[in-house]
A and B are shown apart, each in its own frame.
Chain A
Amino acid sequence: MHDLLLKVENLEAWYGESHVLHGVGFEIGRGELVTLLGRNGAGKTTTLRSIMGIVGRRKGSIRFDNQETVGRTSDFIARLGIAYCPEERGIFSSLNVEENLLLPPVVKPGGMGIKEIYGLFPNLEERRRSQGTKLSGGEQQMLAIGRILRTGANLLLLDEPTEGLAPVIVQRIGDIVRQLKQRGFTILLVEQNFHFAATIADRHYVMEDGRVVDMIAAADVAQSIDKLQTYLGV
């Protein structure tokens, strides 16, 4: 971890009155693929949303590329080069597939071209004129990932990209996430599906009750399996 891209320290976050994060801290090096694991309600999604600046209130520090982002608006944060793929996918029904794909503006040079993205997701090209929400769940997930690859963002926040999808599709998405890592993207992945996460990640952070409680490197997963099972309650 010679080259730090994201450093989160003492992060607290609120939705209205409810205090969800109580001092989250972790870091991600450039080019790494890191997961946040934990049970439902541990604060994983809120952590992603806090990085993106779309929770009610935040305290603490989130430094991206050595720049503090707490106190900044989400559009500013996005233009620094962070892109977000939400759990509910957020495909727009009033936009067709191609419009959805072209929606996020390019914030930095170096993003993928539309041809390249269609190469990665041939289905999307076939259905580029369809209404975004008419796609199948798997296709919508691919669209949600595909549209954040164009922008030149180098940190991708993926929230449960495999949720509710058939095993074949989960495998496809796993391949794609691996390809994205090879291409140099830094990825922070939230996953319920530990087996999926274990096959692709460099490191895992474990969250409990709004805090990061442990870090397990990919090499240590096999010997930490018991510990992980208690954390995740599987």
Chain B
Amino acid sequence: MLDIFSIPLPALFGQLLLGLINGAFYAMLSLGLAVIFGMLNVINFTHGAQYMLGAFAAWLMLTNLSIPFWASLVLAPLIVGLFGVVIERLFLKRIYHLDHLYGFLLTFGMALVIEGLFQWRWGSSGAPYPAPIPGGYNLGFMYMPAYRGFVVLAALVICLATWYGIERTRLGAYLRAATENPTLVRAFGINVPLLITLTYGLGVGLAALAGVLAAPIQQVSALMGSNLVLVVFAVVVIGGMGSIMGSIITGFGLGLIEGFTKVVYPPASNTVIFVVMALVLMVKPAGLFGQTK
């Protein structure tokens, strides 16, 4: 009676938890992509590399300076976010007037450079990062490692805080307004170029934060973000980039679907998100939460 498709429940919940964790990363990353695209009109291909930088920053700080995980959770996004600010000022700023595709190509090139450099220096095999919260809980129907539970909760809090910041605060109102009509917002006395730089820093910091959270779960490696960013693109196409809450729901939802597929038909688990994307394109090309422009 407890079996669905004759799959033992602990296995099902175990995979659903994994799916939820993946979904947490999809949500955090697609959120950042959407916010950046809204303001900069750039699809940030460097997002996966910046996620990797977050994990690497935490790992390097731990191994070289003995800075604990909890401090990295704050420091790594700040450092990587600042790096993003520099990139925006030096490069992205100069191409806003061009077709969106150039931003895509530019950030793709930067991802190659960053990932290539890290691969060259540290190789492509990963380094482990010790779990900051050891142990776990037996929930009766499954065993829940404490850190994984923390990641899901933390991601949820981060996503909701981002949503609140954008949809309910004054700075968020500037951001939404500048996404619609930057010229007018600037003519009201708001320093829009600074706002754009900060937005990019924020989106990049969010990617780095996801990277720090991922470090104890995945191996810290130069290419840890390169495949992830491609899946996140599919997530973004499925959700449409119009809505912050939409990105969050789509991210978590697709993670769950992926986890469920791993139980039901494991060979399809890698591709199921792309299949969903194909279905969404057939039914609602603008994406589940997108508006056709």
A–B contact with Cβ pairs below 8 Å: the answer is yes
Query: Which residues does A use to contact B, with CB under 8 Å?
Result: 52-54, 73-75, 77-79, 83-84, 86, 90, 92-95, 99, 102-105, 107, 148, 151
Question: CB-CB < 8 A to B174: which residues of A?
Answer: 103
CA gap between A180 and B173 in the complex, in Å: 27
A75 touches B176 (CB 8 A): no
- Pick from A84, A90, A94: contact of B179, CB below 8 A: A94
**Contact of B177 with A by CB under 8 A:** yes
Interface centre among A73, A90, A93, A102 (most CB of B within 10 A): A90
Q: Which of B151-200 contact A (CB under 8 A)?
A: 170, 173-174, 176-177, 179-181, 183-192
Whole-angstrom CA separation of A72 from B54 in the bound complex: 39
In the complex, are the beta carbons of B189 and A95 less than 8 A apart?
no
A-B contact pairs, 15 of them (CB 8 A): A54-B186, A73-B186, A74-B186, A74-B187, A75-B186, A75-B191, A90-B181, A92-B176, A94-B180, A95-B173, A99-B173, A103-B174, A104-B188, A104-B190, A105-B189
Q: Interface range on chain B: under 10, 10 to 19, 20 to 34, or 35 or more?
A: 10 to 19
Q: In the bound complex, do residue B180 and residue A79 qualify as a contact, i.e. CB atoms below 8 Å apart?
A: no
Question: Contacts of A148 on B, CB cut-off 8 Å?
Answer: 188
- CB distance A92 to B181 under 8 Å? yes
Residues of chain A within 8 A (CB-CB) of B180 are 92-94
- Say yes or no: A103 contacts B173, CB within 8 Å: yes
Closest to B178 in A: A92
Beta-carbon contact of B187 and A84 below 8 Å: yes
Please determine whether B173 and A86 come into contact, CB atoms closer than 8 angstroms: no
Question: Chain B interface mostly helix, strand, loop or mixed?
Answer: helix
Residues from chain A with Cβ under 8 Å of B192 in the complex:
75
Q: Is the CB of B191 within 8 A of A94?
A: no
Q: Which residues of A contact B189 (CB under 8 A)?
A: 75, 78-79, 104-105, 107, 151
Chain A contacts of B183 at CB under 8 A? 54, 74
* Whole-angstrom CA separation of A107 from B187 in the bound complex: 12
- Chain B residues within 8 Å of A, Cβ to Cβ: 170, 173-174, 176-177, 179-181, 183-192
- Report chain A residues within 8 Å CB of B191: 75
A75 to B181, CA, bound (A): 14
B188 touches A103 (CB 8 A): yes
Q: A78-B189, A105-B189 are in contact. Are A90 and B173 (CB under 8 A)?
A: no
**Complex CA–CA separation, A148 to B190 (angstroms):** 13
Decide if B187 touches A53 in the complex (CB within 8 Å): yes
Which chain A residues lie closer than 8 Å to B179 at the CB level? Answer: 94
Identify the closest chain A residue to B187 (Cβ): A74
B176 A95 Cβ-Cβ under 8 A: yes
CB distance from B55 to the nearest CB of A (A): 33
A-chain residues with CB within 8 Å of residue B173 when the two chains form the complex: 95, 99, 102-103
Tell me, in angstroms, the Cα distance from A84 to B189 when the chains sit together.
Answer: 10
Looking at the complex, which one of A73, A95, A105 makes contact with B188 (CB distance below 8 Å)? A105
C-alpha gap A75/B174 in the complex (Å): 13
Which of A54, A75, A84, A95 has a CB less than 8 Å from the CB of B190? A75
Extra A-B contacts (9), CB below 8 Å, given A75-B192, A84-B187: A73-B186, A75-B186, A75-B191, A84-B188, A86-B184, A92-B177, A95-B173, A103-B185, A107-B189
Check B177 against A95 for contact (C-beta < 8 Å): yes
- When C-beta atoms are compared, the residue in chain B nearest to A106 turns out to be B189
Q: Which residues of B contact A73 (CB under 8 A)?
A: 186
- Among A54, A77, A86, A94, the residue within 8 A (CB) of B176 is A94
Give the residues in chain B near A151, CB-CB below 8 Å. Answer: 188-189
